Structure 1
Amino acid sequence: MNVENHPVVSREEWLVARKEHLRHEKAFTRERDRLSAERRGLPWVKIDKDYHFQGPNGELKLNDLFGRHSQLVIYHFMFAKDWEQGCTGCSFLSDHIDGANQHLAHHDVAVVAVSHAPFSEFQAFKRRMGWKFDWVSSEGCDFNYDFGVCARAEAVAEGNATYNYEKTDSVEEEMPGLSVFYRNDQGEIFHTYSTYARGLDILVGAYNYLDLTPKGRNEDEIMEWVRHHDRYDGATKSGCCHGD
């Protein structure tokens, strides 16, 4: 974005423009609060299916992913079988999880990443990235398909594949998303929310910083400039990996 010819005014003129923009910001904040309340008011779906996952100590059920919490946020991380490293965009988002998790873990929220690849295949990448959050495999169960981040081959062939609640012609092997669950005192689990595509923007704190700057996100395509955090110039390099 070219910012060189941007209007330059007096402090007094700037304050007039800034106060008008503040009025719009406050309206947006109120609308965001209303939308968040509407989201919390969405109906729930009871989970009766027996999903199973693989973690560091063997098989886990969906119930196990909650730990001691009643609320569970699952990030559907794009990492398929035989990939050597995870999706760059998913990694960008995941760089924000550990900081938030220090607080969420003390406010009745568990955050877990789930990928379709076998558990052993993404351990080296997790170590490389230095992440601490829980990350498990959904290999061998329908979880990724049921929650909209993988499409079955027959659906793709028939043109019935969907992503973000719409039919799409651009389904990939793995797609990103986030799903939220609630567990009541009786141990029943409910699916309360899922979001995909631009709905994930809110989780990327770096974008919120960029949105405050003169050049904004300064990208022609979403995340086209983003690299794994150890692949930027000046970062410590390791071996060549899939997807760069």
Structure 2
Amino acid sequence: MPEHKVGTQEEFEAARQELLVEEKKLTRRGDELARKRRELPWVPVDKDYRFETEKGTKPLADLFDGRSQLLVYHFMFGPPYTAGCPVCSSIADTLDPNAIHLKARDVTLICSSRAPIDKLLAYRQRMGWTFDWVSSGSSDFHRDLGFMYTEEELRPFLEGEVPPIVSQMATATGTDVLGYVTEGPGLSAYARSDGTVYRTYVTTARGLEPAMAYYGLLDRTPLGRQEDGAQTFWLRRHDEYGKT
């Protein structure tokens, strides 16, 4: 453990009360941002996206499964992958048990990837998840939302110094760097009203942290995330911790 300031219980309580004021401000600010998200304009989804599912080909509207709201996690599992992205897999560990609670609030939660459906379902079985997972491989669904990139778009990145963590993730998914970074993670939200499907929200990068519950918990530990300057990423699939 690193050296750290040590104080009395009274000093701790005084500092904690100061911090609590800031935490409450952040909570109220979060509530305000949530309200503003809900006030974003809805965009009608005009393109006829088709998805491969366990029960055959379905349009986007059918993925709501009878509910009025749909959350889609864009899981990085491209056609050449042999296994899902470890980071997306850690997110799916959080999403899976929450799906039943979201259903109680009229929200269907699914994952979408571009790999063939059989590959996705086999990996889901390995991981022990139960959420619905669809393949968007034959559509522009991920591309249109900015979660798929071409080699031309990626060339500046590929010709630079590729971070070791990216190479680590590529190896973990059974592909090369290009094959790995062609995919991107994201979350998109939809509403269905009077027979029309609307896109209501899209986010990626640190916007996905609410689905990464371990970060919120690590932020409350003495050492925090401990990721600064790391050459390799600590996250593993949940069945890989402890393996050499």
Match of 1:214 among 182, 199, 222: 222
Please tell me whether the aligned partners of residues 180 and 192 of structure 1 are also in contact (alpha carbons under 8 angstroms): yes
Please list every run of 5 or more consecutive structure 1 residues that lacks an aligned counterpart in the other structure: 160-169, 238-244
Please tell me whether the aligned partners of residues 112 and 136 of structure 1 are also in contact (alpha carbons under 8 angstroms): yes
Change (3 A) 1:10 1:131: same
Please tell me whether the aligned partners of residues 151 and 182 of structure 2 are also in contact (alpha carbons under 8 angstroms): no
Please tell me whether the aligned partners of residues 45 and 199 of structure 2 are also in contact (alpha carbons under 8 angstroms): yes
Deviation at 1:4, TM superposition (A): 3.2
Deviation at 1:37, TM superposition (A): 0.8
Q: How does 1:125-140 map to 2 (within 5 A)?
A: 125-140=123-138
Query: Higher helix share goes to which structure?
Result: 2
- Map of 1:11 onto structure 2: 9
Matched, 1:52 2:50: yes
- Map of 1:108 onto structure 2: 106
**TM-score, length basis structure 1:** 0.86
Deviates more, 1:21-30 or 1:148-157: 148-157
- Map of 2:242 onto structure 1: 233
Matched, 1:204 2:202: no
Matched, 1:187 2:186: no
Q: CA-atom RMSD, angstroms?
A: 2.1
Letter of the structure 2 residue corresponding to residue 97 of structure 1: L
- Map of 1:241 onto structure 2: none
Q: How does 1:69-148 map to 2 (within 5 A)?
A: 69-148=67-146
**TM-score, length basis structure 2:** 0.86
Measure, in 1, the Cα distance between the counterparts of 2:51 and 2:183.
Answer: 17
Aligned length: 222
Match of 1:176 among 164, 167, 185: 185
Change (3 A) 1:93 1:22: same
Letter of the structure 1 residue corresponding to residue 106 of structure 2: D
Change (3 A) 1:14 1:154: closer
Letter of the structure 2 residue corresponding to residue 84 of structure 1: T
- Map of 1:166 onto structure 2: none
Deviation at 1:155, TM superposition (A): 4.5
Matched, 1:64 2:73: no
Measure, in 1, the Cα distance between the counterparts of 2:41 and 2:235.
Answer: 36
Deviations 1:108-156 (A, max 9, x none): 0000100011111222211110000000000111101111100234555
Please tell me whether the aligned partners of residues 82 and 121 of structure 1 are also in contact (alpha carbons under 8 angstroms): no
SS in 1 for 2:181: coil
- Map of 1:31 onto structure 2: 29
Deviation at 1:176, TM superposition (A): 0.5
Measure, in 2, the Cα distance between the counterparts of 1:30 and 1:84.
Answer: 43
Deviations 1:56-78 (A, max 9, x none): 11101100110121110000000
Please tell me whether the aligned partners of residues 150 and 182 of structure 2 are also in contact (alpha carbons under 8 angstroms): no
Deviation at 1:82, TM superposition (A): 2.7
Measure, in 1, the Cα distance between the counterparts of 2:139 and 2:156.
Answer: 22
Identical amino acids, percent of aligned pairs: 43
Measure, in 2, the Cα distance between the counterparts of 1:209 and 1:222.
Answer: 23
Please list every run of 5 or more consecutive structure 2 residues that lacks an aligned counterpart in the other structure: 158-177
Please tell me whether the aligned partners of residues 76 and 183 of structure 2 are also in contact (alpha carbons under 8 angstroms): yes
- Map of 2:167 onto structure 1: none
Deviation at 1:222, TM superposition (A): 10
Deviations 1:66-110 (A, max 9, x none): 012111000000001131100000001000112211211111000
Deviations 1:6-48 (A, max 9, x none): 1111111111100000000000001111111111111111111
